[in-house]
Amino acid sequence: MSKIRKFTQFSFRDLVAAAGPTILVIGALCALAYMLVDPTPPRHVTLGTGQENSAYEELGKQYVAALAKQGIKVTPVRSLGSQENLQRLNQRKVDIAFVQSGSTEQAEAQRDGLVSLGSLFTEPVWLFLRDGVKVTQLTDLKGLKINLGPEGTGVPKLFRQVLALNGLEPTDLSIGALENTPATVELLEGRIDGLVFSSGPESLMVQMLLQTPGIRLFDFAQAEAYSRRLPFVTHVVLPRGIVDVGRDIPSQDYHLIAPTATLVARSDLHPALIDLFVQSATAIHGGTGWFQQQGQFPSARYTEIPVSREAAKFYKDGPPLLQRYMTFWLANFFDRMWVVVVALTALILPLSKVVPPLYVWRIRSRVYRWYGQLRTVEQELEGAHGDGRAQVCAALLKRLDEIEEMVNQISIPLAFADGLYGLRSHINFVRNRVRNAMAPA
């Protein structure tokens, strides 16, 4: 039975030995291509958000949670607002950030190497005043103490343009530059007359001020006119009762002007991360809200910064095909490697033609190498003469017996058994020659 087992259908060991070098070469090339063709996405990014209790800060937490599910660590970096976020993007202190429309211009963004991942939501300009302040139009702000916030927020630049449309100069007002939280305290204490900031309705500060007695929201009755004069703002309406229907808060519709919040990144941000951020933006901002309809955001519109190619493709065709059926990292791996696979296929095809002949040669070489031994026996037989011929022939017969015994130990697939049996018949043929040479002696 042990000898029968020596005849197998297939020799896995010989196949590995024949294909091993080819597999190693292909594997080495794949590993090299994996490292050089396109680097893997970084697993850590920094996100510029906004001030404490701002909508940017609250949304930053949602992005942290969304990308953590895909194995990406997002570190939110608090800032004063849009202008400071733009500065940090240019200084490479953050990888991606929330930026308000109107904070920069298209030519400047292109020069700085910035791209937009799309607009996320409308970000109304909120002007909260004390009840005792009689202001029905913006020209009535003349001489009042109004806090516009630090320059890094982008609100001072925006509101100065609004004031200019009303014929007011910044010097006509007493303008404060406090951050939102301390400015709110000043407003509630009556030390300033009004507070201006731009934020989404998710902001805790907006929610609080809309329900604070003694504080009222200014109604931009000319909001439509502002939207025509300032192309980066839109006219939105805060519906009556949207905060609390039961308590009728607010008690009327309010017209507001609203720039849009956009997600801005450097142009060298990894394309896979851009896809991932846009997908997260769709999940976070795609629903209905105070100022938007289902599916209105995120969008490639409402932004003066050029939209990245990957984001534009997403808004047109949806998520990449592989990411619809695979995890992010697996889809990214195949997406990066498909070019390499095509190139390696051209290499694999010729190499695959080498493996079968090499496999056959290894099997047959187990048989063929013994023919060298038989040839040596014949040469010694031909060189034997005289009285010592009988002794030489006896030694050759013993050597042939040893060769035959070793040949019988050869393990060989059944498909090549004919070569083994041919070798044994040739051993017997040489043995007969030796015996015939011994006969006269």
pLDDT at 1: 43
Euclidean distance between CA atoms 202 and 103, whole angstroms: 21
124-258: CATH topology is D-Maltodextrin-Binding Protein; domain 2 (3.40.190)
Q: How far apart are CA 124 and CA 432, in angstroms?
A: 108
pLDDT at 128: 96
Are 322 and 331 in contact by the 8 Å Cβ rule? The answer is: yes
Length of the chain (residues) = 441
Amino acid at the residue 39: P
For 37-53, write each residue's pLDDT tens digit: 666 788 899 999 988 87
Phi/psi for 57 (5° steps) reads -65, -40
Cβ atoms of residues 302 and 99 within 8 Å: no
Q: Look at residue 340 in the predicted model and tell me its pLDDT.
A: 66
The CATH superfamily of 39-120+264-319 is Periplasmic binding protein-like II (3.40.190.10)
Quick one: how far is CA 288 from the chain centroid? 28
Same fold, 39-120+264-319 and 124-258: yes
Residues of the chain with pLDDT below 70 are 1-20, 30, 33-39, 202, 321-323, 328-344, 346-348, 350-352, 439-441
Give SS3 for 176.
strand
Query: For residues 398 and 431, is the Cβ–Cβ distance under 8 A?
Result: no
Question: Coil, helix or strand for 244?
Answer: strand
118: left (phi over 0), alpha (psi -120 to 50) or beta: left
Segments making up each domain of the chain, as ranges = 4-29+337-438, 39-120+264-319, 124-258
Q: What pLDDT score does 14 carry?
A: 64
Q: DSSP states of 73-138 as a string?
A: EEEEE--SSHHHHHHHHHTTS-SEEEEETTSS-HHHHHHHTEEEEEEEEE-PEEEEEETT---SSG
DSSP annotation of 324 reads G
pLDDT for 253 equals 93
Residue 164 corresponds to which tokens in the numbers above? 């200019």
Which distant-in-sequence residues (6+ apart) come within 8 Å of 127 by Cβ? Answer: 194, 195, 196, 217, 218, 220
CA distance 40 to 71: 13
Backbone angles phi and psi of 90, in degrees to 5: -65, -30
